[in-house]
Amino acid sequence: MLNFWKSFFSLKKKSSLKRLPEEYIKILGFAPHNEDFFLESLTPRALKKYKSNGEILNYERLEFLGDAILGSIVAEYLYTSAPKNDEGYLTKMRSKIVSRKHLNEIGGRLKLLDFIPYEHNIHLSHNILGDLFEAMIGAIYVDQNYEVTKNFVHRILIEPYINLYELEKKIISYKSLMIEWSQKKKKKLLLNTQEEENAEKKVIFVSQLWIEDRFVAKGRGYSKKNAEEIAAKRAYYKFNNKM
């Protein structure tokens, strides 16, 4: 697989040269018009690659586009599939479908990380799998058209993994759920999050969740968001029967 990356980053590459692995093309389900879009979608910023004209080469622009296209396709699917539900329901379901956690799972199932020219000394975002999936969608849209992209999203994401009845019960954010519950019950909820160092000299965030001046739960994580989500999840299970 490394050979196709060597040819991609060569300044003397030919546009007609086939460089994408067959396994990747099988996932796409079609032969690309221009493989450069897909090779770009597999290039994280951390690799510090450049195009022959000196421009930075990474997937971020395609990820931005893919995020918008994916949101549009999912919105259309929900509008058609849930004709009796209001805008609030549709928004909530879309958020669950395109959540970072869910997209990371899809990217993991497709094994997209196997296709990047990985180097052990680079740091990749913990959301890299979801980013690669969105960039892939962006590349499909640019290379093909909206209908092909829509068919891909339905085949890869919606048809095998989306069941609206099951999705309604799925909790994406325990923090949002606890905040919504506290507002409904008119109770004051406070998340007190601080940084602390552990024995390995790594920064860890510790979050304490309080309700009405009563300590409820604590969570630790490598980001403020993660720590608060863990604290909220523990609080949720403590209050589960009351919610």
Which residues belong to the active site? Answer: 67, 134
CA distances from 131 to 113, 137, 170, 189, 195 (A): 10, 10, 22, 33, 27
Q: Is 134 annotated as a binding residue?
A: yes
Residue 206's φ and ψ, nearest 5 degrees, are: -120, 125
How far is Cα 217 from Cα 2, in angstroms, rounded to an integer? 48
Query: In angstroms, how far is the first alpha carbon of the chain from the final one?
Result: 51
Question: How many whole angstroms separate alpha carbon 207 and alpha carbon 9?
Answer: 44
Q: Is 80 exposed, middle or buried (0-12, 13-18, 19+ CB in 10 A)?
A: exposed
**DSSP single-letter state for residue 54:** S
Residue 143 is assigned to a ligand binding site: no
Strands 203-211 and 189-197: antiparallel
C-alpha 153: how far from chain center: 14
Output DSSP code: residue 53: T
Question: Interhelix angle for 146-153 vs 128-143, to 10°?
Answer: 140
Give dist(CA 243, CA 15) in Å, integer. 59
Annotated binding site: 63, 131, 134
Binding site feature residues for Mg(2+): 63, 131, 134
